[in-house]
Structure 1
Amino acid sequence: MTLRPATPADRAALYRICLETADSGEDGTHLYRDPLLVGHVYAGPYLTFAPEHAFVLDDGEGVGGYVLGVLDTAAFSARLEREWWPALRAQYPDPVNVPPGERTPDERLAHLIHHPAAPDPALLAEYPSHLHIDLLPRMQGRGQGRRLFDHLFSSLRGAGSPGVHLGVGGRNTRAQAFYWHLGFHELSRSPGGALLMGLRL
């Protein structure tokens, strides 16, 4: 099992893994009409603008897991506003006139493209970095998630980060338990049960 830096050649694999773990860790292929949409939001910008903190696992059958990190969330968000979201906004209409409860999964992500969440300065003062991690089933339960985390934490710590945060859905209890075990703690919880978790580095 090889852990290595992600490269532009890994983009298709990252998008595929992102989609195949998009349903609270399960395969979300059936949920999205556009198979690239999830990757446009949660994988593509990280590989494009923060490749120094992007790492993949390759088991010989291909890339089956990744961790994507950002050192400075505020600066990253500002760059996406300038260089990533505009092209996607031209491609995906804003579903602002569709009531939130009636939006399809594609429309929910399109809304996020047009209205990305603004970083909380109080949060970023202590946890300026953030990450996304996904592993396909063949990579799970073998210590590879911890291996990816340790590698990213070392990378972020070496770049001067004091802390990192991540979000996890309310239904993804398996991932929540894993993050608790790694030392993350709850920072906030949405009405739907999604957690924002943080870890001091």
Structure 2
Amino acid sequence: MTDPWMIDVPGGRVVLREPVPGDEDGLLAVFEECEDWFVAATGLPSAPGDVQSLFYALPEGAGPDDKVLLVVERDGAVVGLVDTVRDHPEPGAVAVGLFLLAPRARGLGAGRAVAEALLARAEGVTRVTASVPPGWEPGEHFARRLGFTLGEPSAVGAEVGNRRAGPREVAVRRAELRLDGDEAAGPGGR
């Protein structure tokens, strides 16, 4: 993706685009606002290095060209981030490391609209995997609404989806969405 996407959401539009160097402050603000997710997922609030590590963190076996980072922008402000790795853990799969919206942008339909737009463009994708902190209701609800199946909480290994586990992260809940030819058009096409 090189050109920004304009996605209609309730009450307006969001822009989904690749990050640029000037986004660092906006991403830092989103990470600070999303302390609820960071604490639920890792046991700790975010730190400045979390934004920087997004640009080079890859799971074992994935290459830099497989990484896709997208900024979610509304009314000229960064309100979220999507971090994925294509063809991980196998060809045709996409691993979502982060799908993060600032609390000020949650519950307004923007997350669902962005996810559905991404799924609609997911040509050749047969499976999408993600993780949800066990017991974190907003993430569990969001994943289920998109059609993901949630597994039981399990112990964290060396990696969680396409990101490294946090130092206090003890369990993870896997989420998986299987896509076939008809479903690749997005959740609304099922």
**TM-score w.r.t. length of structure 1:** 0.58
Please say which of residues 52-61 and 165-174 is displaced more in the overlay.
Answer: 52-61
- Other-structure match for 2:118: 152
Residues 21-170 of structure 1 correspond to what in structure 2 (within 5 A)? 21-24=34-37, 31-32=44-45, 35-41=47-53, 43-45=54-56, 49=64, 53-74=68-89, 124=90, 128-131=93-96, 132-155=98-121, 157-158=122-123, 160-170=124-134
Query: Whose helix proportion is higher, 1 or 2?
Result: 1
**TM-score w.r.t. length of structure 2:** 0.61
Residues 179-194 of structure 1 correspond to what in structure 2 (within 5 A)? 179-190=143-154, 194=172
Report % sequence identity: 21
State the SS of the aligned residue for 2:145: helix
- Once residues 57 and 120 of structure 2 are traced to their aligned partners in structure 1, the CA distance between those partners, rounded to angstroms, is 18
Query: Which of 1 and 2 has greater Rg?
Result: 1
- Other-structure match for 2:27: 14
CA RMSD, Structure 1 to Structure 2 (Å): 3.4
Aligned-pair CA distance for 1:149: 0.7
- Once residues 182 and 25 of structure 1 are traced to their aligned partners in structure 2, the CA distance between those partners, rounded to angstroms, is 22
Gap runs ≥5 in structure 2: 1-12, 156-169, 180-190
Q: Is the 8 A contact 2:34 2:103 kept in 1?
A: no
Q: Which amino acid in structure 1 is aligned with residue 34 of structure 2? A: T
State the SS of the aligned residue for 2:130: strand
Gap runs ≥5 in structure 1: 75-123
Runs of 4+ in 1 over 4 A off after TM superposition: 25-28
Q: Is the 8 A contact 1:21 1:27 kept in 2?
A: no
Query: Whose strand proportion is higher, 1 or 2?
Result: 2
